[in-house]
Amino acid sequence: MGPEVQKFEEEIKDYINTDLNVVCVNTGTSALHLALHSLDIKEGDEVLVPSLTYVASYQAISATGATPISCDIEPHTGFIDLKDAEKRITNKTKAIMPVHYASHSSSIPEVYELAKKYNLRVVEDAAHSFGCLREGKIIGQEGDIICFSFDGIKNITSGEGGAILTADEEVLTRAKDGRLLGVEKDSDNRYRRERSWNFNVSRQGFRYHMSDLFAAIGREQLKRCDELFKRRKAHLKQYITELQNLAEIETLELDYDNLVPHIFIIKATKRRDELFEFLKTKGVQVGLHYAPNHLLNKFKTDYSLPVTESLSKEIITLPLHPDLTSDDITYVTDAIKEFLSND
Ligand X SMILES: *Cc1c(COP(=O)(O)O)cnc(C)c1O
Asked if 128 interacts with ligand X (CB under 6 A), we say: yes
Q: Which is nearer to ligand X, 21 or 53 (CB)?
A: 53
Listed ranges 69-77, 122-130, 215-223, 294-302: which one lies at the site for ligand X (CB under 6 A): 122-130
Tell me how far, at minimum, the Cβ of 306 lies from ligand X, in Å: 22
User: What distance in Å separates the CA atoms of residue 342 and residue 32, rounded to the nearest whole number?
Assistant: 45
Its sign, for the CA torsion 206, 212, 213, 219, is positive
Which residue number is nearest to ligand X in terms of Cβ?
A: 28
Tell me how far, at minimum, the Cβ of 155 lies from ligand X, in Å: 11
User: What distance in Å separates the CA atoms of residue 87 and residue 82, rounded to the nearest whole number?
Assistant: 9
Its sign, for the CA torsion 218, 221, 225, 231, is negative
Tell me how far, at minimum, the Cβ of 148 lies from ligand X, in Å: 8
Asked if 149 interacts with ligand X (CB under 6 A), we say: yes
Cis peptide before 112 (omega within 30 of 0): no
Using a 10 angstrom Cβ sphere, with 0-12 exposed, 13-18 middle and 19 or more buried, the burial of residue 155 is: buried
Encoded one letter per residue, x for contact with ligand X by CB under 6 A and - for no contact, window 28-57 reads xx-----------------------xx-xx
Instruction: Considering only residues 300 through 339, tell me which ones interact with ligand X, judged by CB under 6 A.
Output: none
Helix, strand, coil percent values for the chain (each to nearest 5):
40, 15, 40
Is residue 154 flagged as an active site residue?
yes
Say if strands 145-149 and 121-125 run parallel, antiparallel, or are unpaired. parallel
Instruction: Considering only residues 152 through 181, tell me which ones interact with ligand X, judged by CB under 6 A.
Output: 162
Q: Which is nearer to ligand X, 75 or 287 (CB)?
A: 287
The string over 48-65, giving b where at least 16 C-beta atoms fall within 10 Å of a residue's C-beta and e elsewhere, is bbbbbbbebbbbbbbbbe
Phi, psi angle pair for 336, to nearest 5°? -65, -45
Q: Which of 154, 185, 233, 300 is catalytic?
A: 154
Listed ranges 25-33, 83-91, 221-229, 237-245: which one lies at the site for ligand X (CB under 6 A): 25-33
Q: Which is nearer to ligand X, 35 or 275 (CB)?
A: 35
Asked if 99 interacts with ligand X (CB under 6 A), we say: yes
Contact between residue 69 and residue 47 where contact means Cβ atoms under 8 Å apart: yes
Residues with a catalytic annotation lie at: 154
**Which residues lie near ligand X (CB under 6 A)?**
27-29, 53-54, 56-57, 99, 125, 127-128, 149, 151, 162
